[in-house]
Structure 1
Amino acid sequence: MCPVCNGMLAEARICPRCGSEMADAGRVTDFYGPYSPYMEFDSFMRKETSCIHLYTCQDCSYDERVEIELTEG
């Protein structure tokens, strides 16, 4: 299970562009369908050992994807 999705971990990120705090916008898979052309091909071949979250900066609109390791639950 993903500790960020389940509220067990608050992953704090700082924007590398402007230094502001970034907000968790949720899982990347929530933005794209399961067979979206925008998802990397490797993501379909990989076992689910992590959850990819999208973090966005409210000040400069920079975004990045962060891999969160799944835990036993």
Structure 2
Amino acid sequence: MGPKKNRWIFFKRLRMQTAWRWKFLGSAFKWKRLNLQLSFVDDVLFRILSVFEAIVLVATLCFFYLCCGCHF
């Protein structure tokens, strides 16, 4: 039992050392957080796209009535 236990301790120590190495190496590849307020950006984009969509819908309706709509 003595040599097997020593071998197990060696592999356990080796595994812990590689785990620490990967922990520090992996932190280099993480994205850094942005300090922007994303809700503000989302609100502005939503308002701009809503206005753009309204303009497109009104233009489509006008085009329909001018080209295919009621003729008196």
Provide TM-score, normalisation by structure 2. Answer: 0.17
Q: Which has the higher strand share?
A: 1
Provide TM-score, normalisation by structure 1. Answer: 0.17
Larger Rg: 2
Q: Which has the higher helix share?
A: 2
